[in-house]
Amino acid sequence: MFYRETGQFKTSYAADMQIFPIRQDRIALWVVLAIAFLGIPLLDQLQVWPFGGEYMLRAILIPFLILSLAAIGLNILTGYCGQLSLGSGAFMAIGAYSAYKFGTGVHIPLGLFNLSIPPLPVLPSILLGALMSAFVGILFGIPSLRIKGLYLAVATLAAQFFFDWVFIRVKWFTNYNSSGSVSAPDLNFFGYVVNTPIDRYLLCLVFVSIFALLAKNLVRGNIGRQWMATRDMDIAAELMGIRPLYAKLTAFAISSFIMGVAGALWAFVYLGAWEPLAFSIDRSFQILFMVIIGGLGSILGSFLGAAFILVLPIALDQVPHALGVPISVETVSHLVFIVTGTLICWLLIVEPRGFARLWLTGKEKLRLWPYPY
Amino acid sequence: MRKLTLALGALAVAATASTGPAVAQTNEQFLPALVYRTGPYAPNGIPFANGVADYWTLLNERDGGINGVKIVFEECETGYATDKGVECYERLKGKGPTGAGYFSPLSTGITFALTDKVPGDKIPLLTMGYGRSESRDGAVFPWNFIAVGSYWTAADVAIQHIAKEVGGFDKLKDKKISLVYHDSPYGKEPIAALEARAKLNGFTFKAIPVTHPGVEQKSQWLSIRQDRPDYVLLWGWGVMNSTSIKEAAAVGYPRDKVIGVWWSGAEPDVTPAGDQSAGYKALMLQHGPGKFAVHADLEKFLVSKGKSVSKEDFAQVLYNRGLINSMIGTEAVRTAMKKYGNKPMTGEQVRWGFENLNLTAARIKELGFEGMLQPLRFSCEDHQGADVARVQQWDGKAWKTVSDYYKADDKILAPLVKEHAAKYATEKKITARDCSKES
């Protein structure tokens, strides 16, 4: 009843081809965007609960947005193109460190002639950093033409370890800092320094909105269909005239590009100062879990998965204290592990295809409600 | 299914409620504690966290707080992870009537991340014996207080001790000294100072990294066996330390030629290796284990009443370090109260308190810390306050102090601090304060 599209007639091709064909979806999207772009800044301005202080923005919403972006990136590769990757952390790291290098000036001593690029503003450095990530993604995507499934996961795992090693060992990337930890340059966008939590939040939101829209559009177009065909059966796709080289490498490139942007944002906007440990194998797994829990092959799922994996442990961590239960922090943190782990198991048994599928089922139910079928 | 969903929803609502309105205005000083009681570094994180908490409780029980202002504190589990540490910092910084007084993350990685955040939030960072070595320069780092000693102090003192053992600095020539370090900002910090020393004293220096968390060190110690350095410096943390000692024993490297930093010189570092640890040396962040005057009060007010959080770690090295950490922090709050009145202090006021903190020998005795800490005085230029350290040796059962106090060589370290602080200032576009104009 709530989701019935009865009476919504498509009278033009444009209307038929829009991203969200159902009116309710469009309204929901606009409401979400309005809340995100107007509501939250307004609540923050008024310091209304739960936006009193900066905790909600700085510790929940900003990391949530950035990791959602990373999950979208991985979802394109794993969910849409079917290429299992454990190298998300590495691609994020490449985005972060390249952006750092571009932001602080690149100087490559090549013996006879030196290559020097002066420090670039933040926006070009983030985008160039993401381009570097895309480039490396293509490089590590080449093996995907020969190997599949778990074997490809091992190959991308190699990328993860290799780049962990590179950013710890090669001092050039950290500008020869004695400690190997680097800190982000000023977030100066066209003369405006992004500093307050709400500015940082809006910055992430803009990036996430643009890339989510791009991704949503890509996956329903020609290229997205190529990816999905490759995912579903690569031999059949090849027989239909889809070039696997092109389909797989574009997936690797675009996915790495988005993950590179996410990595740069994670480093510049959320952490401020970081070390390679911020992009360790744990990060790769975290993002892979987000994609699996959220739903493979769904943009919405990336957001839901990120919320589940990131926000749930933080929320659970605070429940005993908020309720005034006097248990020690170590017990709480063990409990969080137990509860989150159990929930993941339970969820995967009940709905192996993740939150996105749950949402689809819900939509179906709402459509027929109050009749059972 | 539906019930479960409902329960989940209720849980989520309850969770968001916790981030709700702040506590009403009361006469309470909020002090946050970033701890790690879980994870690979927990054996070392727990005693420190216990010491920190016990000293605060002691002040509340014995004196009714700091000058009558009760201390309320809250722990947040970081697991030694930087992103979790940042989340904890955001969670705790605004609590209490005046916000957090100061933060002590007990992690070099978290310290690096917070160093960029604290100037905006106006909360001082007390990083006792860890963190950025160049943050000693208070003109560039107004919010960081690397109390008692930096890694560069430690590196310098270690070399001085080696020189004494081999019979003078001139004998250091053609000696080989290797550093086995935790491959993180923490482990990399001493390298700059050791390289400066190597250039000056003519020994061969080699840095050997160990990947986090440090349970895999076979190849590193095999290369040490091949290389036969005269001394090995150990910059480890948590389970890495005991693994190093075991591996040293496995390749037959004499343990009394291994000198650990003060984060590698506590009971959890040596006891897992059993008898193999006998002879192993480590630096002391001035203090060692054992009971002092303050412990009598702790036993009287906390332990006997079952209010102490510590168990077997009472009066161990890291527990005592936690006590000192809390003592320096609360004394800074007390100093701030002298200027601003006996009420809860904001982070900005506590920062003033740190900068003007003067712990004389008499004051230290009064607090019950005599024998644990030498006089300490911060100033605008010097946010370290002291640069002396001793060496202790594990005899198989207990730590024994084997040296007198060494003073780190300012001629080597001061230029290093200046140089690195200036580099940080240009990178972050900070204009250094003029310390002659500070009151």
The complex scores an ipTM of 0.84
Same-domain pairing of B162 and B209: yes
What is the tens place of the pLDDT at every residue in A263-276?
999 999 998 888 88
Q: Is the pLDDT of residue B4 over 70?
A: no
Asked if residue B435 is part of any domain, the answer here is no
What is the tens place of the pLDDT at every residue in B302-344?
999 988 888 889 999 999 999 999 999 999 999 999 999 999 9
Structure tokens that stand for A152 in this block: 């490809």
Q: Which candidate in A166, A175, A186, A275 is best for mutational testing of the B interface (most B CBs within 10 A)?
A: A275
What is the C-alpha separation between B123 and B382, in angstroms, rounded?
Answer: 18
Same-domain pairing of B121 and B161: no
Asked if residue B412 is part of any domain, the answer here is yes
Q: Please state, as a whole number, how many other Cβ atoms lie within 10 Å of the Cβ of residue B174.
A: 9
Alpha carbons within 13 angstroms on the beta-carbon side of residue B19 total 28
Instruction: Considering only residues B325 and B431, tell me which one the structure prediction assigns the higher pLDDT.
Output: B325
Same-domain pairing of B281 and B410: yes
Same-domain pairing of B206 and B253: yes
What is the tens place of the pLDDT at every residue in B236-266?
998 999 999 999 999 999 999 999 999 999 9
Percent residues over pLDDT 90 in chain A: 55
Q: Does residue A370 contact residue A1 with C-beta atoms inside 8 Å?
A: yes
What are the phi and psi torsion angles at A336 (to 5°)? -60, -45
Q: Which band of pLDDT confidence, cut at 50, 70 and 90, is reported for residue A55?
A: confident
Tell me how far the alpha carbon of residue B262 is from its chain's centroid: 9
Structure tokens that stand for B192 in this block: 């700059």
Q: SS3 for A188?
A: strand
Q: Which candidate in B23, B34, B91 is best for mutational testing of the A interface (most A CBs within 10 A)?
A: B91
What is the C-alpha separation between B299 and B297, in angstroms, rounded?
Answer: 5
Structure tokens that stand for A192 in this block: 């405006």
**Of the candidate ranges B19-28, B149-158, B416-425, the one whose mean pLDDT is the lowest:** B19-28
Q: Which band of pLDDT confidence, cut at 50, 70 and 90, is reported for residue B157?
A: very high
Cβ distance A278 to B82 less than 8 Å, yes or no, reads yes
Q: Is the pLDDT of residue B22 over 60?
A: no
β pairing state of B28-35 and B70-77: parallel
- Average predicted confidence (pLDDT) for chain B: 89
Same-domain pairing of B322 and B270: no
pLDDT recorded at residue A1: 66
Distance to chain A for B87, nearest Cα, Å = 5
Q: Is the pLDDT of residue B9 over 80?
A: no
Asked if residue B330 is part of any domain, the answer here is yes
What is the tens place of the pLDDT at every residue in A148-185?
888 999 989 999 999 999 998 888 898 888 778 888 88
Q: Which band of pLDDT confidence, cut at 50, 70 and 90, is reported for residue B357?
A: very high
Same-domain pairing of B221 and B267: yes
Structure tokens that stand for B416 in this block: 């290093």
**Token pair 């250094």 is at which residue?**
B432
Cβ distance A180 to B132 less than 8 Å, yes or no, reads no
Same-domain pairing of B263 and B333: no
Distance to chain B for A7, nearest Cα, Å = 31
Q: Any chain B CB within 8 A of the CB of A334? A: yes
What is the tens place of the pLDDT at every residue in B171-203?
998 899 999 999 888 898 899 999 999 999 999
Q: Count of domains in chain B?
A: 2
Torsion of CA B356, B357, B359, B363, to 10 degrees: 100
- Find the helix or strand (DSSP H, E) in which B342 lies: none
Question: Which range marks the domain in which residue B105 is found?
Answer: 27-150+289-387
Q: Any chain A CB within 8 A of the CB of B371? A: no
CATH number of the domain to which B255 belongs: 3.40.50.2300
What is the tens place of the pLDDT at every residue in A254-309?
999 999 999 999 999 998 888 888 899 999 999 999 999 999 999 999 999 999 99
Its pTM stands at 0.88
What is the tens place of the pLDDT at every residue in A8-36?
888 999 888 888 888 888 999 999 999 99
Q: Is the pLDDT of residue B11 over 80?
A: no
Tell me how far the alpha carbon of residue A186 is from its chain's centroid: 23
Same-domain pairing of B129 and B219: no
**Token pair 């050997």 is at which residue?**
B208
Cβ distance B112 to A183 less than 8 Å, yes or no, reads yes
DSSP class of residue A60? I
pLDDT recorded at residue A373: 62
Q: SS3 for A121?
A: coil
Highest mean pLDDT of the ranges A17-21, A263-267, B20-24, B377-381: A263-267
In angstroms, what CA-CA distances link A45 with A188, A255, A268, A269, B44?
A: 22, 35, 24, 20, 42
Asked if residue B355 is part of any domain, the answer here is yes
